[in-house]
Amino acid sequence: METEVAIVGAGPAGLSAAVAASEAGCRVTIVDAYARPGGQYYKQMPGEFHPRRPETLYHDFSQAQQLFAKLDDHARVQVLSGTTVWTVQAASTPGDPVTLYLNTGAGSVGLRAEKVILAPGAYDRVLPFPGWDLPGVMTMGAAQTLVKSQRVLPGLRVVLSGSGPFLLPVAAGLAQAGAQVVAVYEATTPLQWARHAPRVWNHWDKLREGGDYVQLLRKQGVPLQFGRAVIRASGDERVQHITVARLSADWQPIAGSEEQREVDAVCIGYGFVPSLELSSLLGCTHRYDPVQATFVVQHDADMQSSRAGVFVAGEITGIGGSAVAMPQGTLAGLAVARQLGRLSESAAQRKMAPYRKALRHRQAFAVLLQYLFRLRPGWLSWMTPETLVCRCEEVPFQQIEAAIKDDHARDVKTVKALTRCGMGLCQGRVCGPSVAAITAALTGQDPAQLGALMGRPIVKPITLGALCDTSH
């Protein structure tokens, strides 16, 4: 298979890039793992489902429908849904095509593309605590997917614990779907936000959106409590009880503040971690962002990475939500069209100008949110020696601690080799950020110098039959 522009990810960034590139005359192929376009943000229900009020599925319903309609209008756009990129082969010389190896479910096929736009999104960040591996404890993204795509509740008595704006829409969605949301626990406090209030006055649309969610939760009788977190979960076959504690400014549990709640589901989320597997395989340059506590892909003003012909958009450039992802995707699509000769330099710059302006405005707000809801180091004290950090390989905190203190591991790669952290099915996606934080704390080093638990050349599960398929 061949295409001019391959886009990985059909969320807001990928869809915006596809529309911009195809409208300029490029042939575009979108590859996405979900059954229907939209990504996690614009998650569509299966075609067999016919909701009476589809506009309640997500906040920007009309905007999503406009994107979907534009895609349908372009014969130059091919959407490969239910398809994963399991590895990539970078161009041997600048200007040569990049080859994406796809798992379509029926086998493996190679897709050669003159230009690639990576918009794979991100996944939930979870902070380990005793009992987080019990059935019924899940990420907020998983809970939202259950409700959005299948109208299935994760439980009947649900609590949410974490930090960041994502708490509100997930809690509201669960309440609207019929769950009893016992409480929403936000680890930060309004007092910590107060001195930054003047910086939000020019972002009324986002403030209004947050206010709408808060009002909905109040109408549903859902308590929103600040400066608290779930620090322990317990149960026989699945989660049945949680321990909630008030937190100090650096997220240390305050002694004597613990209280027990009876639940059957816990949704956890402390922001997001960019999906960097493909950008790493392609050799893109990454930088460590200390506020977001993660690596992100470096790029220029046109969203091109350090690898010629490889562009990036959305969360892999830094967590900013759809408001940032969409103009980034449009800029990437226009830049690709210019490189392919479908737009002149002057026409491209004219089209890019309003999106650059919108991006500057929206990124300012995203950077503020990143700072306000940043991780505090006290969360490390939530773990006991027996707390699992890597669930795939069942590696507890004490084993990582021993690798560092007794075996003198000084980077995450060595910790991985000594403990098997990150060698399981998720390839370190879940435990990697926690392992890096633990290693930095116990060695006193800058996290930027420790590296990351990068995945293997095969970035997604694939059958041996597909691996041996020579159809590409």
d(C-alpha 286, C-alpha 215), whole Å: 40
40 with 100, same domain: the answer is yes
Q: Which residue has the tokens 């995707």?
A: 329
d(C-alpha 466, C-alpha 472), whole Å: 10
- Interhelix angle for 12-23 vs 321-339, to 10°? 30
407 with 281, same domain: the answer is no
Residue of 321, 236, 295, 322 whose CA lies nearest to 448: 295
306 with 341, same domain: the answer is yes
142 with 231, same domain: the answer is yes
CA 58 to chain CA centroid, Å, is 17
For the chain of 472 residues, list the mean pLDDT of each consecutive stretch of 10. Answer: 95 95 95 84 69 64 76 82 91 84 87 96 96 97 89 94 95 93 96 82 80 92 96 96 97 97 97 95 94 96 96 97 95 97 96 96 93 96 97 96 93 93 90 94 91 77 76 50
Domain boundary among 306, 340, 369: 369
**How many structural domains is the chain composed of?**
3
398 with 423, same domain: the answer is yes
Give pLDDT, residue 171. Answer: 96
Q: 235 φ, ψ to 5°?
A: 165, 165
Residue of 462, 289, 284, 460 whose CA lies nearest to 375: 289
The per-residue DSSP string of 428-442 comes to TTTTHHHHHHHHHHH
**Phi-psi bin for 263: left (phi > 0), alpha (psi -120 to 50), beta?**
beta
The reply to whether 462 falls in a domain is no
The reply to whether 458 falls in a domain is no
Quickly list H helices, 315-422. Answer: 321-339, 345-372, 397-405, 412-419
Give pLDDT, residue 59. Answer: 64
- Model's pTM, two decimal places? 0.92
343 with 439, same domain: the answer is no
Give pLDDT, residue 341. Answer: 96
SS3 165: coil
342 with 398, same domain: the answer is no
The per-residue DSSP string of 274-286 comes to E--HHHHHTT--E
Residue of 333, 437, 423, 414 whose CA lies nearest to 13: 333
49 with 91, same domain: the answer is yes
The reply to whether 400 falls in a domain is yes
The per-residue DSSP string of 28-96 comes to EEEE-SSSSSSTTTTPPPPTT---S-GGGSSTTHHHHHHHHHHHHH-TTEEEETT-EEEEEE--SSTTS
Give pLDDT, residue 455. Answer: 66
360 with 395, same domain: the answer is no
The reply to whether 455 falls in a domain is no
CATH number of the domain that 229 lies in?
3.50.50.60
Give pLDDT, residue 204. Answer: 75
In this structure, are residues 314 and 9 in contact, taking their beta carbons and an 8 Å threshold? yes
Sign of the CA dihedral with 169 first, then 171, 172, and 177 last: positive
Range of the domain at 51: 2-122+273-369
Residue 298 CB coordination number (10 Å): 15
Domain boundary among 338, 369, 400: 369
Residue 389 CB coordination number (10 Å): 26
Hey, what are 132's tokens?
């987080």
d(C-alpha 293, C-alpha 307), whole Å: 24
